[in-house]
Amino acid sequence: MKANNKTPLHEITDGNYFQQIVAEYFRSLKDERKGLHIADIDVDDTGVGCDNGCDILVDFHFEDAIGKHRHRWVVECKSQKKSVGNRDVNTNNLYSILESKQADGYLLVCVSDASSQLKSLLNANQKLKSVIWNGTQLWRKLIGSESLIKSFFPEYYQANFISNNAKSDFDSAFEAFTKKQEK
């Protein structure tokens, strides 16, 4: 990975801390929802220890004119700095993990990225609904939540939201835009 693609996620040395960040991102969606058509979200962070490839269970609840529906994701978090490969993920056991958790899909979240071999293996399997987020993709999602940045990346928050007035500049510009729209 090129140095200019590094995010503050690359400074994380504790896998459990990384897992907490990912779980809190999903919990934050419950309040923010950002245009998503979600009735509710449940997040079960399984904690530290042997988890058989399931660090977090995320249930998205949807409601339509007929009834309520649930979509469950098994989320596996990998905080290693190198690419995540086949040997790092229990690819032989993904079906049984999804089945035992009654999940509809598998999300692999990496600080770095998944190897091309692992991506090919997961993408080739048409029966397995799988998605991979690399660190840059996750960071783009996190940066939209000031509370998450403030909580998990206080130095970054101080430098980029407080010290250089980016937050107040954004708030001022948004307020000016809103006033202009009201006229």
Co-location of 122 and 171 in the same domain: no
Cβ distance 1 to 112 under 8 Å? yes
**Same-domain status, 127 and 168:** no
- Whichever domain contains 88, its CATH number is 3.40.1350.10
118, 89: one domain: yes
Domain count, the chain: 2
Residue 137's domain comprises 3-151
Q: Which two tokens stand for residue 72?
A: 């469950």
Total-model pTM: 0.82
Instruction: Round the average pLDDT of the chain to a whole number and report it.
Output: 85
Provide the strand spans (E) within 6-138.
40-45, 56-63, 68-78, 105-110, 130-133
Identify which of 147, 119, 110 has the alpha carbon closest to the alpha carbon of residue 10: 110
pLDDT digits (tens, 9 = 90+) for 98-140: 999 999 999 999 999 999 999 999 988 888 899 999 999 999 9
Q: Are residues 66 and 132 in the same domain?
A: yes
Same domain for 108 and 169: no
Cβ atoms 106, 131 nearer than 8 A = yes
DSSP string, 112-129: S-B-HHHHHHHHH-TTS-
* 55 and 140 share one domain: yes
**Which helix (H) or strand (E) segment is 17 a member of?**
helix 15-32
- Per-residue pLDDT of 27-51, as tens digits, reads 998 877 566 778 889 999 876 655 6
